[in-house]
């Protein structure tokens, strides 16, 4: 197995400041073989949370909404943006109630991934939520109209195949949930 080293960041300058949403920087990089790259992009987005949340009846809580990047209506899992200095779990619990009206005491952090392999684009913290119950009506979102949809586990693959689920973040979450669900259960049995 080849030994691969991290790239060294020799410097960085901001070329576009659109905070709190997006900052674009250019990094000066030194590759492991000594070569210098002086225009490697780094994009800073705020961290995000995504919640794979199941009701007590084992239905997956999804949101049907128009997302402008996609330019169409699709099914996504509940998500939100982490405020500066906030703990991701705190954001996740608040956003689940605000977006769907559901709440739960059963939370597991699955994994935190970086959004873009080349440019970073922020971390996404994935949570598994079980036994959620409806405690209020969802709050109207800031810009997007939104509708809660409860999906049987057996219909998830069909929803992806039909084109109703098209967000990379949502598909990743659903795969991970199917992988970690077993592990989380196994842990609790011990």
Work out which of 34, 84, 85, 118 binds a second copy, going by CB under 8 A. 118
DSSP 59-81: EEEEEEEEETTTTEEEEE--EEE
Distances (CA, A) of 154 to 43, 72, 84, 157: 37, 24, 37, 7
Is 69:45 a contact under the CB 8 Å cutoff? Answer: no
Residue of 111, 96, 116, 94 whose CA lies nearest to 168: 116
Work out which of 10, 15, 36, 141 binds a second copy, going by CB under 8 A. 15
Q: How far is the CB of 9 from a second copy (least distance, A)?
A: 9
Work out which of 10, 19, 20, 32 binds a second copy, going by CB under 8 A. 32
> Where is 8: in which H helix or E strand?
strand 8-18
Site string for a second copy, 146-165 (x = CB under 8 A): -x---------x--xx-x--
Q: How far is the CB of 171 from a second copy (least distance, A)?
A: 5
Q: How far is the CB of 182 from a second copy (least distance, A)?
A: 9
Where on the phi/psi map is residue 20: left (φ > 0), alpha (ψ -120 to 50), or beta? Answer: alpha
**188 is a site residue for a second copy (CB under 8 A):** no
- Name residue 59's beta-bridge partners: 152
**34 is a site residue for a second copy (CB under 8 A):** no
Residue of 19, 23, 28, 25 whose CA lies nearest to 41: 25
Work out which of 59, 94, 111, 153 binds a second copy, going by CB under 8 A. 111
Binding piece for a second copy, criterion CB under 8 A, among 54-62, 87-95, 129-137, 142-150:
142-150
Q: Cα 118–5–49 angle (5° rounding)?
A: 40
**Residue 118 vs 137, nearer CB to a second copy:** 118
Q: Which residues bind a second copy (CB under 8 A)?
A: 1-2, 4-7, 15-16, 18, 21-22, 24, 26, 29, 31-32, 37, 40-43, 64-73, 76, 111, 113-121, 124, 143, 145, 147, 157, 160-161, 163, 166-169, 171-172, 174-176, 179-180, 183
């Amino acid at each position: 197995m080849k030994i691969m080293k991290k790239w060294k960041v020799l410097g960085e300058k901001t070329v576009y400041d659109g905070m709190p949403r997006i900052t674009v920087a250019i990094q000066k990089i030194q590759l492991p073989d000594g070569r210098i790259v002086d225009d490697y992009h780094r994009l800073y987005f705020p961290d995000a949370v995504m919640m794979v949340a199941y009701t007590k009846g084992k239905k997956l809580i999804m949101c049907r909404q128009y997302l402008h990047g996609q330019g169409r209506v699709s099914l996504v899992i509940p998500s939100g943006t982490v405020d500066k200095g906030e703990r991701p779990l705190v954001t996740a619990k608040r956003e689940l109630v605000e977006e769907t009206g559901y709440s739960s005491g059963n939370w597991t952090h699955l994994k935190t991934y970086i959004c873009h392999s080349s440019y970073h684009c922020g971390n996404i913290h994935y949570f598994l939520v079980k036994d959620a119950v409806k405690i209020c009506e969802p709050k109207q979102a800031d810009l997007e109209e939104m509708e809660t949809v409860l999906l049987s586990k057996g219909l998830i693959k069909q929803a992806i195949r039909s084109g109703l689920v098209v967000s990379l973040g949502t598909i990743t979450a659903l795969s991970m949930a199917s992988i970690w669900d077993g592990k989380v259960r196994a842990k609790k049995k011990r």
